[in-house]
A = this chain, B = another copy of it.
């Protein structure tokens, strides 16, 4: 074990797109676990679009990261030292303890992971928060019916990939939207979507019309911007728009105008947003459903693993530009289950 703890701090609040200079990499002393606490050595750090909200000053559903504080984030790690009788050295755990190599945290905030059930990093993606996000939004808002058309933006991403696969299991026609030919090929051939539109290559409106000849019944909104503008007028009567995120607009300094809402009357649309942290109580139910599908290979996923905490700022900046391909994870240290 090292005797220093490398950390990434928020140096200042970005205006517009974050730059590496908005973050600071520093070394702190190794924390000492108190009574009931556990020292965790980080193995994988999750990077997610919501973090852009946490570092802006905008009023939101969660407390912002303070300037000078360690960036927040969920981590999978290994117990290095335990002062909680519920944990032993070598246990694998999931918890929210930030962009840093080590953390001393109360044992009661940690979830134990069994590496025989699924690869450790899956707890940050397909079996974690992004997977639950897909499950909650689809079952509570989108509610796709057999034969309906579901469009999923950011289709190769951590949430979109699960949304599409779950919607397919409900018997819907599923059309993805992603940036780039590689992503689209993956979405169609690996994830099994009926089609995927490359928004880098095609005029979106035409491409959607061709891929969705019966219009759109459910739109899963991950990105906003031009994709939203193309999809919204193509929603069918009684269409549902699941508002999960609008990553293409997260760096905007001024919010862009949205669609005129008279369409919501004429077409009886439902536009509804949600935040997965309101629905943790459904996590066990989701895992019970998804873990066997993952094991059997019916539920596919892909990780984009970046090596080293020092690369987290750059990887996060790329995430906001859609440069990742699959669930973005930073490898903080050795994964003993993968040796």
Instruction: Scan A25-60; emit 1 where CB is below 8 A from any B CB, else 0.
Output: 000000000000000000000000000010000011
The answer to the question of A275 belonging to the interface, with a C-beta cut-off of 8 Å to chain B, is yes
Additional pairs, 16, CB under 8 Å, beyond known A257-B257, A257-B259, A258-B258 = A59-B266, A61-B268, A224-B261, A228-B261, A243-B262, A243-B264, A255-B262, A257-B260, A258-B260, A261-B273, A263-B273, A268-B272, A268-B274, A268-B275, A270-B270, A271-B272
Docked-complex contact B269 and A270, CB < 8 angstroms = no
Q: Check if A246 is an interface residue, CB within 8 A of chain B.
A: yes
Please name all residues of chain B whose beta carbon is closer than 8 Å to the beta carbon of A60 when the two chains form the complex: 266
**Distance A272 CA – B244 CA, assembled complex (angstroms):** 16
Leading 4 A-B pairs by shortest Cβ distance: A257-B257, A264-B273, A255-B260, A265-B273
- Chain B CB within 8 A of A245 CB: yes
> What is the distance, in angstroms, from A311's C-beta to the closest C-beta of chain B?
28
Q: A258-B260, A262-B249 are in contact. Are A273 and B267 (CB under 8 A)?
A: yes
Residue count of chain A within 8 Å CB distance of chain B? 36
Q: Is A2 an interface residue (CB 8 A)?
A: no
What 0/1 pattern do residues 277 to 291 of A give for CB contact below 8 A with B? Answer: 010000000000000
List the B residue with the shortest CB-CB distance to A261: B258
Contact between B267 and A61 (Cβ–Cβ < 8 Å)? yes
Q: Which residues of B contact A246 (CB under 8 A)?
A: 261-262, 265
A22 at the interface (CB under 8 A from B): no
State the Cβ distance, A157 to closest chain B Cβ, in Å: 16
Partner of A265, one of B245, B259, B261, B270: B245
Verify if A303 is at the interface (C-beta below 8 Å from B).
no
Contacts of A255 in B (CB 8 A): 260, 262
The CA-CA distance from A273 to B261 in the complex, in Å, is 9
Chain B residue nearest to A240 (CB atoms) is B272
Judged by a CB distance under 8 angstroms, whether A169 is at the interface is no
20 contacts between A and B (CB under 8 A): A59-B266, A60-B266, A61-B266, A228-B261, A243-B265, A244-B265, A246-B261, A246-B262, A249-B260, A256-B260, A257-B258, A258-B258, A258-B261, A259-B261, A264-B272, A264-B273, A265-B273, A269-B271, A270-B270, A270-B272
